[in-house]
Homo-oligomer: A and B are copies of this chain.
C-alpha cells in the first residue's frame, strides 16, 4: 500500500509531481514522467481514492436503490446502470429495500455517509423523507420506474398508463368485457397508473368500470396468488386478467392452475414486464415489455450529467414507451360466455 510520498521519494520528485503524472493534469517533462511511472510500477502504487475524495469532494461512486435486485426487471435495470456508470469511470453500490420505506431511508443515510455522488432510486412508497434528506445533503437523485408526487426530481420511467391502455385495448379487441386487474400497493405510482390506463381503455370502449374487478396488494407472487383467488371466489368470473407486474402474473398463473382454469381457453392473462429472452424457451404470456436496460442506462446518464454540473437545467422526466408483445396467453372470449 505505497503512498504518493513513497513514490515521490523513489522517483526523486515531489508528491505534487507524482500527482500530476498520475492525473495527467498539468505539465511534466517526459523524463520526469518516465521516472515517476517507473517508481509507480516498482512499488505497485495505487492512488488512494479515499484521500482524493476528501479533497475533491467527489467519490465517483453512485448508488442504486431498488426494491429487490432479484426481480429480473430490476436486475436488467442494474445491468444498464452498471454499464453506463463503468464507461464513465463510476462505481455502483446497490441496495434492496423490499418496498420498505424504513429500509429505504436507512440505506440512503448509510450511502450518504459514504459520500456517494448521486442516487438512482426506485422509491418504496411516496414518502418525501428520502428526497428531503438527499436534498439537504445536496446529493442529486434520479427516480427510476416510478412517479413521485409533488417533488421536482428527475424521473426515468416507462409509460405505465399508456402501456396498460394498450394491453387492455388488446383484450377488448379480443371481445373481453369483464376484465379484472390485479395490482400493487396504492402508494406506488406504477400500481395506480396502470389501473388508470386500464380504466381509460374500458371507458373508451363503453365498458363499465367496477371496483370489484380491481384488486390491490403487494407486487409479489403471493400478492398475485391472493388476488386471483379472491377474484375467483367472488363469483364475478372475469374472462381476462390484467396483472400489472411480472411477479403478480406468476402468482396469478399459480392460482389459475390450481383452480383448474386453462389459459387462454377459460381466462386470458396479460401482464406488464417480460422476462429476458434467455429465460424462456417458448414464451407464453402476452406482455407489455418495458425497456428495463434502457431505463437504467438513461437514468444513469441523466444522473451523471447532473454531476457534471447540469444541476441548473430544469427537471427532466424521461418516459420511454413499452412494447406490446402478443403471445398465447390472450385469446378470444370463451364462446359460452360472450
Contact = CB atoms under 8 A, between A and B. Distances in A.
Interface stretch (A65-73, A159-167, A171-179): A65-73
How many chain A residues sit at the interface, stated as a range, is 35 or more
Interface string A278-293: 1111100000000000
Contacts of A138: 1
Copies of this chain held together in the complex: 2
Contacts of A79: 68-70, 96
Contact of A114 (B61, B76, B78, B133): B61
A75 interface: yes
A316 interface: no
A76 B82 contact: no
Interface stretch (A180-188, A199-207, A230-238, A250-258): A250-258
Nearest to A44: B136
Interface stretch (A10-18, A46-54, A146-154, A301-309): A46-54
A165 B280 CA distance: 26
A93 interface: yes
Question: 8 closest pairs, A vs B, by CB?
Answer: A253-B281, A49-B113, A50-B115, A49-B114, A44-B136, A50-B53, A75-B75, A70-B79
